[in-house]
Structure formats: C-alpha cells, structure tokens
Amino acid sequence: MNILLVNPETPSTFWSFRNALKFISKKSSEPPLSLLTVASMLSKSWNKKLIDLNVDQLKDKDILWADLVFLTGMNIQRKSFDDVVKRCNYLNKKIVAGGPMVTMGYEEFLGIDHFILNEAEITLPEFLKDLDAGRPKQVYTSDRFPMIESTPAPAWELLNMKKYASMSIQYSRGCPFNCDFCTITLLNGHKPRVKTTSQFLTELDLLYRTGWRGGVFIVDDNFIGNKKTVKHDLLPALIKWDEKHQFPFNFITEASINLADDEELVELMVKAGFDSAFIGIESVNTASLSECGKTQNVNRDLVASVQKLHRNGLMVSGGFIVGFDNDPHNIFEEMINFIQNSGIVTAMVGLLNAPKGTRLFQKLKSENRILKDMSGNNMDGSLNFIPKMDYTKLISGYKTILDTIYSQKEFYYRVKKFLAEYTQNHQYIKKTFSFRNILALFRTFWFLGVVEKGRTYYWRLLFYTIFKHPEKLALSVTLAIYGFHFRRVIENI
C-alpha cells in the first residue's frame, strides 16, 4: 500500500516561532513526532511519504498516489486539517484520522473514513488487523492507557531534517497533577508511563546516526512526573551516553515547578544536557491557583523557585493565564511585576479557555457559561466562556500585559536580568559558534539593529552582553530574536 501521512499547518502563534525561524533559515521549530511514530507502526512493506504542511506543500499528485491518507491535528490546526479533508474527499481518497483534536470530539468531523482515537499503541493495531481482513470500522477507541515500552522509534528517514530547528522525542506520557483546565490527564492519564532507559537511549542512537546535532525537545507532559525513575535510572545513563558521544544534543522539556525543590535532580538534568524547561506558572494569585487545582504552585515563592532554576543552569519558559473567577482587578499589574522580577524571558500569557471534557468545561457548562469551542491558540485573545470579570476590563488588562512585557524596553530589561543570574552549561557554549548562529547574528544587526524601531534597546543589550557576559552572546542574540517574534505575534491580538 501507499500511505501518505499529513501534518496540518500551524498558523503563526507564540510557539510556532515562525518570525524567529527566518533568522536561522528554518521552516518549522519541530517535526510531527506523532506521525513519524505512527509510520513506524505500519507494515515495513508499505510505501510511506510524509508531508508536513509547515515545511512543504501538499500536491494533488501526492494525494492521488496514496491508498490511505493518515491525518492528525490539534485545535490550532483545525482550518488546515479541514482543508486537507476537503481535498482528499474531492479526490476520492480514504482518510484515517487520529490525534488529540479528533479524540476529544470525533463526532464533529465530516469526511473521515476511519478514526483512530486515544493512543495508537492500542487502537491502530486493531484497525490494521480489520483492514487486512477487509472489514475496517469507522471508529476505534479505548479507555486503557498502554505501557509504552514497545512503542517504536520514529521513522526519521521520512523527514528532511534540514528544514527544522530542533528534533523531538518522547520519554513518558501522563502527569500526576490534576489542573482542571488541562486535557493531558484525559488523553494520557494521571500515572506517568515511561519508556525503558535502554529504549530511550536506542532512540537517541538512531537520531545521532542520522547526523542530527543540536536541540532535542523531549515532549513529555511532565518530564519529572515519575521523578524516582528519571533521577535514579534515566539521567545517570543519559549522562554516560552524552559523555560517550561528546554531548551532541541540548535538551529542552516540560516540567512542574516542584523541580526547583530537588537540586540534585536539577544538577543531573543539566549534566545530561538540559538547558531549558517550560513550566506552567499559570497565576500569581493564590486563590486562582487553588481554583484550578494547581496545588504544586501553592504555598511557595514562585519567583525564588524560578531564579533557583536559572542559577542552577535551567532556563525557565513560563506559561501564564488570566481570566480565572478568583482573579482580582489588579491581576494584570501583579502579572507584569512577577514576569519582570522573575527574569522569565519567554513568558506565554493567555486567556483562560475551557477545553471539552475537562473539569473546568463541565463546571462552566453546568453554570451555562460556555459560549463556543476554543480556538487552540494560546494567545489570540479569544474566550470560549463568560468570565466573572467584566469582559472589557479583562481584554483590556490582558492586552496591557502583552504590550508591556513584550515592549522592547521591558523585554530587553528581562533578558539582561536573566543573563545576569543564569549559569550557562559549558557544553552549550561549545555549540554556539556555528555558521548558522553567526549568520543569525548578522541578520539581527540588520533587522533588530537597523530596520526595527526602538533599535537602541537591541544595541544596548548587545554591548551589555559583550562586556558583561561574553560567553552568553549566542544565547543573548537568540533571546533577542524571540522577542522580535513575540512582538509580531501580539500585533494581531
């Protein structure tokens, strides 16, 4: 059979980094890991082709070549997803769809021949068995969470790696916490399930043999969800692997703020090549944190926790939310002050939304406050429910946060604060002097230092870094590029 795997396009959003990727001549920040993994679950005798609409165009001849079109997607990709479905329907090609968006509401989608819902380790083999027997069903679903020790490595051979800024792999699924607005526990469960250490290192070996060097995003819901196994099994083995291979990768991941409570764990992560972690801070208001079940963030000095991670070598990217029922009217000023004082350069501030199936959605639905489906864009300024705070004040305050923290004055101040307290991994420094980074530097000279208004802030940052933290110059330039992207994103809000 001929199998076409299609990843829909992601519009320009906070996490797309589309405006930043131009500086390093890349088209997408990361590859479609789910489709690469699914491809490895299919028969080795089948012909497979991957089209990622973030880096390539989907042509009619690609669709006509296929016997089946495998399609995934998240809410943010809905428009592109629907366009692909329409084109396949016009060309009379059967579509097999899976992923988080259809899993959370497959009944809403027309034109799909087969739905492979939940986790593919269980539902995809059932479909393939029925397909081989000539009697495939429309819907395959399961309420079980599979162990992932048998999950195959991604089919890297389908990917043109030169078009991506980083690669992605997975170690675990699931999160032990229970935030009421989050779909992770619905999709992947409360009990974190991990791959074996040897399995994970084998995947790294395969990625290493492709020739890839540089950033690798470990896409876990919460990398330290199973902290004991990570700390005592995976990380010591990963450090040995890194030393043997001369540290070819720098890792980023997602974790919870309680990571800051275990300095030994942080030290092991940094030794293993981790230099960044996304952490959901969510709110600076204790009542709002309690409201949404973010218990791990309550009763702690969040600024101190962030700065502790910075000093120990992990750069924190933070997620923030406004629009909780318990948010006071000064939440916007408090949020700005927190972000500036914490030195979190990459601060994603979004309006609260209620994804279908979550406890928050059920609560708001019972109160007749749900308005529509959420867009999936963390920062488009949309709400899918009626907030307690006056809507006009909420939107105005939200816009004030974004306009302030991503103004050049405040953003470059935050970069300087971060550089002053961040302890950089010496392994990272060795990787910064590449042709790609040097080219990016000269592009910033032009776009940030000449073309863009407010360019004096860029030059002040550059000279500050050169004289105060010369070893962090590449990092400083990277963060300046991020700021350029973020300013472009908030222009459309």
The rounded radius of gyration (Å) of the Cα atoms in the chain is 22
What is the overall mean pLDDT for the chain?
95
Looking at residue 374, its pLDDT comes to: 87
**End of a domain among 82, 108, 140?**
140
> Is the separation of the CB atoms in 493 and 381 below 8 Å?
yes
User: Comparing C-alpha atoms, which of 415, 388, 395 is closest to residue 486?
Assistant: 415
Q: Are residues 464 and 408 in the same domain?
A: no
Q: What digits encode the pLDDT tens for the residues 106-130?
A: 999 999 999 999 999 999 999 999 9
Backbone angles phi, psi at 31, to 5 degrees: -85, 165
Kindly report the length of the chain.
493
Contact (CB, 8 A) for 468 and 331: no
Contact between residue 353 and residue 181 where contact means Cβ atoms under 8 Å apart: yes
Quick one: DSSP state of residue 118? S
Residues of the chain with pLDDT under 50: none
Residues 6+ apart with CB under 8 A from 437: 24, 474, 477
Question: Residue 483: inside a domain, yes or no?
Answer: yes
Answer yes or no: is 92 within a domain: yes
Residue 428 · residue 317 · CB < 8 Å: no
The answer to the question of residue 150 being in a domain is no
- Diameter of the chain by CA atoms? 69
Given this model, what pLDDT does residue 430 score?
56
Q: How far apart are CA 266 and CA 58, in angstroms?
A: 43
Angle between helices 331-342 and 391-405 (to 10 degrees): 20
Model's pTM, two decimal places? 0.95
CATH number at residue 213: 3.80.30.20
* Encoded amino acid at 70, one letter: F
Give the type of residue at 335: M
**How high is the pLDDT of residue 375?**
84
Are 181 and 68 within one domain?
A: no
- 145 falls within a domain: no
Residues 124 and 6 in one domain: yes
Distance CA 380, CA 399 (A): 11
Total tally of structural domains belonging to the chain: 3
Which DSSP helix (H) or strand (E) runs through 187? helix 184-188
Pair 351, 445 in one domain: no
Range of the domain at 447: 426-490
User: What per-residue string of b and e applies to 450-471 under the rule 16 or more CB within 10 Å gives b?
Assistant: eeeeeeebbeebbebbeeebee
Is residue 148 in a domain?
no
Looking at the structure, do residues 373 and 432 belong to the same domain, yes or no?
no
Residues 94 and 197 grouped into a single domain: no
The CATH number covering residue 36 comes to 3.40.50.280
| Residue 84 and residue 169 in one domain | no
* Strand duo 214-218 + 249-255: pairing: parallel
Which strands, in side-by-side order, build the sheet including 315-322? 167-169, 214-218, 249-255, 274-282, 315-322, 347-351
Bridge partners of 350, per DSSP, are 321
Q: In the prediction, which pLDDT does 327 show?
A: 98
Tokens of 468: 């105060």
pLDDT tens figures, 223-244:
999 999 999 999 999 999 999 9
Last residue of a domain, one of 372, 403, 421: 421
Helix (H) or strand (E) holding 52: strand 47-52
Find, among 312, 313, 335, the residue nearest to 322 by Cα: 335
At 378 the pLDDT is 75
CB 270 within 8 Å of CB 234:
no
Beta bridge pairs of residue 97: 71, 115
Is 361 a member of any domain?
yes
Residue at a domain's end among 387, 402, 421: 421
Structural domain contains residue 464 = yes
Do 8 and 38 lie in one domain? The reply is yes
**Alpha-carbon separation of residue 465 from 267, 275, 443, 480 (angstroms):** 25, 19, 17, 12
End-to-end CA distance of the chain: 45
Residue 338 lies in a domain: yes
**Is 293 exposed, middle or buried, given 0-12, 13-18 or 19+ CB atoms closer than 10 A?**
middle
Sorted by sequence, the CB contacts under 8 Å of residue 81 that are 6+ apart come out as 8, 71, 73, 101
The span from the CA of 74 to the CA of 102, in Å, is 8
Give yes or no: residues 248 and 129 share one domain. no
Q: Is 4 helix (H, G, I), strand (E, B) or coil?
A: strand
200 and 91 within one domain? no
Looking at residue 436, its pLDDT comes to: 73
Both 313 and 451 in one domain: the answer is no
Return the pLDDT at 381: 87
62 and 122, same structural domain?
yes
Q: Give the Cα separation of 212 and 424 in Å (integer).
A: 22
Of 323, 309, 394, 390, residue with least CA distance to 353: 323
